[in-house]
Structure 1
Amino acid sequence: MPDENDDERGFFGEGQSKPLAKAARLTDKPHYIGHRQRLRDRFREAGPGALSDYEILEILLFRSIPRADTKERAKLLLARFGSLAEVLGAPERLIREMPGIGDAVALDLKVVAAAAQRMARGAIKGREVLASWSQVLDYCRASMAFEQREQFRILFLDKKNVLIADEVQQTGTVDHTPVYPREVVRRALELSSTAIILVHNHPSGDPTPSRADIEMTKTIIDTAKPLGISVHDHIIIGKNGHASMKGLLLI
């Protein structure tokens, strides 16, 4: 109990000082709030070209991580995988292993990657593929460049070279995918396809065709030709670019 001679106003004044200080602290905004708004403003006003890869990745992480700084997480992801494209193309299980990245964040990044692939596919769907070659390459790169295992994909075209179907026929190991020419031709006949484009990736990053790649392609051409099916090209996709067997005069 306070002494009856104590100043009662002073006593109650001290009692109020702590809650007031606490209330003041609660009104302080975390430092990253202003940073997030500045990034959003730059994106709106100057466009995505004004932002670096890690800043674009930060913005993607804003909604997944609403109450924490995302800059260091974005930089860690880029340091681990190499580029924004490689982050989005990385397996979900490897993304989840990164510090401060949980299941929800990893899933959100894979959804963004899937949306990018759908956009690239939409650019060639229903179009004459040979007239949209750069879009075809963009789609193949978005779909396969950063896969950790080899995939063998076929683009099936009709007589006007319009895309009928796009299918992954086989998935192999880090440096080999089994391909069966008769199965390739059989599927083309099922779809009434008169032309195909073969595509596969090299997880090593180097898109240079191997001798086995060239021989396999020639076997498919020889199997398909008598049945009226043309092989327009065999594209090999790597992290460091692509190679066209037709462009290299290998077929």
Structure 2
Amino acid sequence: MTDKTVSGLTEAAEPPHYHGHRERLRQRFREAGAEALADYELIELVLFRAIPRRDVKPLAKDLLKRFGSFAEVVAAPAARLAEVEGMTPAAIVEVKVVQAAAVRFGRGRIARRPVLSSWSAVLDYCRTAMAFAEREQFRVLYLDKKNALIADELQGEGTVDHTPVYPREVVKRALELSSTALVLVHNHPSGDPTPSRADIEMTKAIADIARPLGVAVHDHIIVGRDGHVSFKGLKLI
């Protein structure tokens, strides 16, 4: 029904108020760019296509309140997103597509390029891929003799404060790939990237096994919500 009767007269029903808001928001994004939008407004843009017939501003603000920032909303597990009232399966897919695109973009910036001369891009990629994960993950960047990336592999995922790492398996995989250098990466879901004693001992164990086989450990990076640390920068390697 597209018409309504008022005092015996027929007039076109007005579109919902949020239709004009959506177009204004899209226009501001086109003209001023993402920096002109608040986090909740960017989330609104993500949700528009998945939820076409509802004002999504309250939902966007609920997501921010729940998770803390745009990055943390995008990185939140699908199961936790589903706990927020109003998040449909389609909306969750839209959010996770944004995360996948960000990770893929970051990986593309370091693929087939000398990693050591693209260090800021490496750090950006590691933070995008892992900093907001709710469980510890351990990742290895395998490099060739020119320090270009051969493979980026997630070796394991553990609990909120521990991931099992098997040094011999890490080095075995390097030999399978004909890799001559490694960059180790893991995250601290607590947010604090300070290395633990176990982190230091595990790094030393991998380096001690790799060195006689001609495989160098260039660095071990720990990322968290509060930043990152480099073992090389701390002179732990």
TM-score (norm: length of structure 1):
0.90
Residues 196 and 19 (structure 1), Cα distance of their counterparts in 2 relative to 1, 3 Å cut: farther
Q: How far did residue 20 of structure 1 move?
A: 5.5
SS in 2 for 1:197: strand
How far apart, in 1, do the equivalents of 2:67 and 2:161 lie?
20
- Amino acid of the structure 1 residue aligned with 2:93: L
The answer for the alignment partner of 1:121 in structure 2 is: 107
The answer for the alignment partner of 2:94 in structure 1 is: 108
SS in 2 for 1:114: helix
Residues 20 and 230 (structure 1), Cα distance of their counterparts in 2 relative to 1, 3 Å cut: farther
**Which consecutive residues of structure 2, in runs of 5 or more, have no partner in the other structure?**
none
How far apart, in 1, do the equivalents of 2:103 and 2:24 lie?
29
Residues 67 and 229 (structure 1), Cα distance of their counterparts in 2 relative to 1, 3 Å cut: same
How far apart, in 1, do the equivalents of 2:120 and 2:185 lie?
14
How far apart, in 2, do the equivalents of 1:58 and 1:239 lie?
23
How far apart, in 2, do the equivalents of 1:19 and 1:112 lie?
49
| Number of residue-to-residue matches in the alignment | 234
Say yes or no: does 1:64 pair with 2:86.
Answer: no
Which of structure 1's runs of 4+ aligned residues deviate more than 6 A?
none
Residues 208 and 20 (structure 1), Cα distance of their counterparts in 2 relative to 1, 3 Å cut: farther
SS in 1 for 2:232: coil
Q: How far did residue 27 of structure 1 move?
A: 2.5
Q: How far did residue 19 of structure 1 move?
A: 8.9
How far apart, in 2, do the equivalents of 1:68 and 1:44 lie?
22
Say yes or no: does 1:35 pair with 2:21.
Answer: yes
Give 2:71's match in structure 1, choosing from 85, 99, 103. 85
Higher strand share: 2
The answer for the alignment partner of 1:161 in structure 2 is: 147
Deviation by residue 1:170-214 (Cα, 9 ceiling, x = unmatched): 111110111111111000000000000000011111100001101
- Amino acid of the structure 2 residue aligned with 1:237: V
The answer for the alignment partner of 2:227 in structure 1 is: 241
How far apart, in 1, do the equivalents of 2:224 and 2:7 lie?
61
TM-score (norm: length of structure 2):
0.95
Q: How far did residue 97 of structure 1 move?
A: 1.1
How far apart, in 2, do the equivalents of 1:20 and 1:36 lie?
33
- From the CA coordinates, give the structure whose radius of gyration is larger: 1
SS in 2 for 1:148: coil
Say yes or no: does 1:192 pair with 2:178.
Answer: yes
Residues 55 and 17 (structure 1), Cα distance of their counterparts in 2 relative to 1, 3 Å cut: closer
The answer for the alignment partner of 2:205 in structure 1 is: 219
SS in 2 for 1:64: coil
**Which consecutive residues of structure 1, in runs of 5 or more, have no partner in the other structure?**
1-15
How far apart, in 2, do the equivalents of 1:160 and 1:17 lie?
75
How far apart, in 2, do the equivalents of 1:134 and 1:19 lie?
67
Give 1:50's match in structure 2, choosing from 36, 54, 65. 36
Q: How far did residue 56 of structure 1 move?
A: 0.8
SS in 1 for 2:49: helix
- Amino acid of the structure 1 residue aligned with 2:221: I
Say yes or no: does 1:204 pair with 2:186.
Answer: no
